[in-house]
Amino acid sequence: MLTTIQYGSRKLKINLSEPIDISIPIPLTRDNVGVLAWGQKSPRLKKLRSVKKRHATNFNSINLMPHAHGTHTECIGHITKEFVSINKILTQFFFLAEVVTVAPEKKGNDFVISKKQMQFVLGNKKREAIIIRTMPNTNSKLNKNYSKTNPPYLLEEAVIYLREKGIEHLLIDTPSIDKEKDGGELLGHNAFWNTKGKKRLSATITELIFVPNHINDGKYFLNLQITSLENNATPSKPILYQVLN
């Protein structure tokens, strides 16, 4: 289904019939390994009631950590002493986004994404959200334990550039925009939320997404779906729609 919507001063022609889900499901069954990070164990599902045991309904409890167990969206409350809830700060859910593909560069023992790379893929485009697909990009990202692997990350200069470009929502297919072990500096997170200046309370970071290779780089309409969870982060389901003009 094609539809034309008024988005700010623009009219966008959107293909609503082919939504592109770039989230990684959180596994709760033994046959789905899923992703893990930060040394955490797999999420757990406990059956409290079951129709197999003559109950009227299936009734489960779930133990999970949004930051470690799949696609999640976080707010500035992730790094502040004050409690800030993603459910309170994210009140709009549709954004004009750019999908970009980047091959992280070797720097010492790390693989990093630089300001120069971000400048190249964005150019003079004005977007509210950026969706970063890192190379190599294989289905192994759907079932990977990232703990102690030192995944690629964004240099502080790259994040500052994105902030100054007006990017409000940063989505990436790694567990963090920062280095796995950086002594607690969190240079990227602090730069994106501008913690040393006027804090960007409405900005969000979404990590552990997966953008399949058949999805082309370019302009998309992003629906950033979250659960109504009062926490600094929540499992999320970002959906892309192709923009045809």
Model pLDDT for residues 93-146, shown as the tens digit of each residue: 999 999 999 999 999 999 999 999 999 999 999 999 999 999 999 999 999 999
Model pLDDT for residues 2-14, shown as the tens digit of each residue: 888 888 888 889 9
What is this structure's pTM?
Answer: 0.94
Nearest residue to 157 via CA among 107, 123, 192: 192
Q: What is the pLDDT of residue 118?
A: 98
Q: What is the set of domains in the chain, with CATH numbers?
A: 2-242 (3.50.30.50)
Pairwise CA distance, residues 231 & 84, whole Å: 7
Model pLDDT for residues 69-102, shown as the tens digit of each residue: 999 999 999 999 999 999 999 999 999 999 999 9
Q: In the predicted model, what is the mean pLDDT of residues 229-234?
A: 96
Q: In the predicted model, what is the mean pLDDT of residues 63-70?
A: 91
For residues 60 and 159, which has the higher predicted lDDT (pLDDT)?
159
pLDDT band at 48 (very low <50, low <70, confident <90, very high): confident
Q: What is the pLDDT of residue 111?
A: 98
Q: What is the pLDDT of residue 142?
A: 94
Pairwise CA distance, residues 100 & 158, whole Å: 14
Q: What is the pLDDT of residue 32?
A: 63
Categorise residue 186: left if φ over 0, alpha if ψ from -120 to 50, beta otherwise. Answer: left
For residue 38, pLDDT beyond 70: yes
Average per-residue pLDDT for the chain: 94
Q: Which two tokens stand for residue 33?
A: 């390994």
For residue 29, pLDDT beyond 80: no
pLDDT band at 31 (very low <50, low <70, confident <90, very high): low
pLDDT band at 1 (very low <50, low <70, confident <90, very high): confident
Nearest residue to 14 via CA among 31, 26, 2, 23: 2
Q: Which two tokens stand for residue 164?
A: 């100054």
The DSSP call for residue 145 is: B
Kind plus residue range of the DSSP H or E element containing 26: none
pLDDT band at 176 (very low <50, low <70, confident <90, very high): very high
